[in-house]
Amino acid sequence: MIQVMNLSHAFKIGKRGNEKSIPVLKDIDFRVKQGEIVSIVGKSGSGKSTFLHVLAGFMVPQKGKVLINGTETSTFKEAESAAFRLENYGFIFQNFQLMPRLNAFENIELPLKLQGIDRVKRHEKVKALMKETGLDNVADHYPNELSGGQQQRVGIARALITNPPIIFADEPTGSLDSETEQDVLLLIQSLNQTHGITFVIITHDEEVAHIANRMYTMHDGQLTEGSDQRAI
Ligand code: ADP
Ligand code: MG
């Protein structure tokens, strides 16, 4: 489903004429099969978020390929990338990234609006999903009226609402206490099982990594399969 080959990327920093190139991703190979939960563990600064940005098409890599179900996404132009993302990916963020002026219902509804789905269908879908994710009693609450765990449930429901085959999660439990973290992990596992959604989860937390079927370790821009003590 996801195939990454010989991927490398360096950031250019400094003033023009005096630029320095900082290699951040170094010859990465990575594969995810449909229906898997795969985790990527690594220390802060090891390149995890940069890798996720390349995977999801927010950044074009300097070298290498990303294939999603056989389609090469790493050469997409910006507009193609945005359209592909909306159809194929959901995103879950550490800091939830909810719209503060929209209530829980409206936050979850937003991707369907972007897809041009009509109001009746949107409402039907959002209601059903809020029920499934245990949010039906907070539909009219604004983000600042929700607990961290509830905000992340809204974030997860928003990622799911378009039925994407793949969800990318960058430190999904990084802002939650350990009890709420368990709740959110159980929700991710159950969604993986009931909807067959493929998850790629970035984390520095071993507990989170353990819900995965497979684990990769990012160390200084290099990705290896399995656990690597240098990264923990
Ligand atoms: P992680 O998510 O594992 O903490 P990141 O992918 O965010 O790591 O960052 C990896 C490295 O790349 C860090 O050294 C960071 O400073 C650098 N970096 C990230 N984004 C940029 C950028 N836009 N320009 C220059 N350097 C960057
Ligand atoms: Mg990061």
97 φ/ψ sector (left φ>0, alpha ψ -120 to 50, else beta): left
Is residue 61, in this structure, part of any structural domain at all? no
Residues paired with 72 in a beta bridge? 67
Is residue 90, in this structure, part of any structural domain at all? yes
Q: How many domains does the chain have?
A: 1
Residue nearest to atom 22 of ligand 1 (CA): 11
Is residue 178, in this structure, part of any structural domain at all? yes
Is residue 122, in this structure, part of any structural domain at all? yes
pTM: 0.91
Give tens-digit pLDDT for 165-221.
Answer: 999 999 999 888 888 898 889 989 998 999 999 999 998 887 888 899 999 999 999
Is residue 24, in this structure, part of any structural domain at all? no
What is the mean pLDDT of the segment spanning 19-39? 95
Decide if pLDDT at 17 tops 90: no
Give tens-digit pLDDT for 39-71.
Answer: 999 988 999 999 999 999 999 999 999 999 999
Is residue 139, in this structure, part of any structural domain at all? yes
Q: Ligand 1 atom closest to Cα of 22?
A: 26
Residue nearest to atom 13 of ligand 1 (CA): 45
Query: Could you identify the residue written with the tokens 């969800």?
Result: 167
Domain around 132: 37-45+76-231
Decide if pLDDT at 231 tops 70: no
What is the mean pLDDT of the segment spanning 132-157? 94
Give tens-digit pLDDT for 110-134.
Answer: 999 999 999 999 999 999 999 999 9
Return the closest-CA partner of residue 219 out of 46, 52, 5, 22: 46
Give all strands of the β-sheet with 37-42 in edge-to-edge order: 89-93, 166-170, 198-203, 37-42, 214-219, 222-225
Pocket of ligand 1, beta carbon within 6 A? 11, 13, 22, 24, 42, 44-50
Q: Pocket of ligand 1, candidates 20, 24, 62, 171: which has the most ligand atoms within 8 Å of its Cβ, to mutate?
A: 24
Is residue 53, in this structure, part of any structural domain at all? no
Q: What is the CATH number for 162?
A: 3.40.50.300
The pLDDT value recorded for residue 230 is: 66
Type of residue found at 180: T
Is residue 160, in this structure, part of any structural domain at all? yes
Report residue 22's pLDDT band, with 50, 70 and 90 as the boundaries.
Answer: very high
The pLDDT value recorded for residue 207 is: 80
Ligand of minimum distance to the alpha carbon of 51: 1
